[in-house]
Amino acid sequence: MKTIAFFDVKPYDRIFFDALAPGYDMSMKYIEAKLNADSVVLAEGCDGIIAFVNDTIDEETIAKMDSMGIRVLALRSAGYNNVDFKSAFGRVHVLRVPAYSPYAVAEHAMALILALNRKTHRAYNRTRDYNFSLAGLTGFDLRGKTAGVIGTGRIGRVFIDICRGFGMNVIAYDPFPAEGSDIDYVTLDELLARADVISLHCPLTKETHHILDVRAFSLMKEGVYIINTSRGALIDAEALLDSVKRHHVGAVGLDVYEEEEAYFFEDVSGEIMEDDTLARLLSMPNVLVTGHQAFLTREALENIARTTLDNLGAYYNGAPLANEVCYQCSKLGTCDHKHKDRCF
């Protein structure tokens, strides 16, 4: 039986991994700490590591994994921007979960839009204090409005379908358009200028880092809604705050944040928040922040557990690693598998 060090464990993770792991002849060593160069020593004697999106998998962390003889890292997430792949190549196989439930994330994005538009979060707080005034709660019909979708992978396409179900017009930007689709693709600048709601559904890369920056906000309509359920660093948080303060951005729904590692997934309610930008955003009535929970459905959690264990099982059984991410590939995240169905 293989022993796997499972970092940054949460109660909802254990439910599904505990149920499925025995079927893979694996046992989990659950570790509450996030994975980094200091905590990786807790995996001593284990056969592999399971990590998450906010773990720090840098050169030092990978070097220590290598010295302990750990050759496989299974990310229980789709994103992998927290991994130093240059250091990992030839030492540690990095596996991921490319799709767990596009519906979970896309539905959460629409939930943020609906809550912000109809002010349901504010109404909830009022009515609990027996305040049933409707002043300040006016929204608008989504029907006929234009949704601008940046990124048309699986999640983006599901979100497009949801928007169309509300009668919205949809335009999209993606440097790699979905072939054979009926999606109305436009340039990024045109999308920024036309959209009433802009929703991000793209990975974080060098090209997409701060895709919404000062210039991008200057091109947007006054009153535009910004939704981000992808990666925090897609948005320049300082530029976003400035646009909200100037009343140029009408509302913001964030499930991710540029510097979320210190706060998200943890209870820090008894601490003073040192991130002034996040604190200012949280104080604003037209900003709704959720703590990276868009993925959190039963279906998604089960799919994450099953795919993660499938990935590890394939590695230990010498099978092809369909979900391996390789630094040496022609396109990061889409492995050419030139080395006997593995990256090395």
Task: Find out if CATH 3.40.50.920 is the number for domain 2-100+298-325.
Answer: no
Residues 6+ apart with CB under 8 A from 30: 6, 9, 14
Q: For 166-317, where are the alpha helices, taking DSSP H only?
A: 188-194, 214-219, 237-245, 276-282, 298-316
258-285 exposure pattern, b = at least 16 Cβ within 10 A, e = fewer: bebbebbeeeeeeeeeebebbeebeeee
Catalytic, 260? Answer yes
How many CB atoms lie under 10 A from the CB of residue 38?
Answer: 13
Distance separating alpha carbons of residues 294 and 57, to the nearest angstrom: 23
Q: Would you state the structure tokens that stand for residue 203, as one six-digit string?
A: 């990975």
Beta strands 324-325 and 93-95 are antiparallel
- How many other CB atoms sit within 10 Å of the CB of residue 14? 15
DSSP-derived 3-state class of residue 112: helix
CB 42 within 8 A of CB 66: no
> What stretch(es) of the chain map to CATH 3.40.50.720?
2-100+298-325, 102-289
Spot the catalytic one: 157, 201, 258, 260: 260
Q: What is the per-residue pLDDT across 170-229, written as a single tens digit (0 to 9) for each?
A: 999 999 999 999 999 999 999 999 999 999 999 999 999 999 999 999 999 999 999 999
**Is pLDDT of 78 > 90?**
no
> Active-site residue 231, yes or no?
yes
Evaluate if residue 326 carries a pLDDT over 90: no
Q: How far does CA 47 lie from the centroid of its chain?
A: 27
Task: Read off the pLDDT of residues 32-54 as tens digits, 9 standing for 90 and up.
Answer: 999 999 999 999 999 999 999 88
3 state SS of 292: coil
Instruction: Please list, residue by residue across 205-240, b when 16 or more beta carbons sit within 10 angstroms of its beta carbon and e when fewer do.
Output: eeebebbbeeebbeebbeebbbbbbbbbbbbbbebb
Phi (first) and psi of residue 98, to 5 degrees = -65, -30
How much is the pTM? 0.89
Whether domain 102-289 has CATH 1.50.10.10: no
Residue of 96, 108, 154, 231 marked catalytic:
231
Q: For this structure, is 108 an active site residue? A: no
- Identify the band that residue 334 occupies on the pLDDT scale cut at 50, 70 and 90: low
**pLDDT given for residue 9 in this prediction:** 95
pLDDT of amino acid 337: 57
Contacts of 315 (CB under 8 A, 6+ apart): 48, 72, 93, 95, 321
- Per-residue pLDDT at 341 exceeds 90: no
Q: What is the pLDDT of residue 329?
A: 63
pLDDT of 333 strictly over 60? no
* Identified catalytic residue from 96, 154, 201, 292: 292
Measured between alpha carbons, how far is 179 from 279 in angstroms, rounded to an integer? 42
Tell me: the pLDDT tens digits for 240-273? 999 999 999 999 999 999 999 889 988 999 999 9
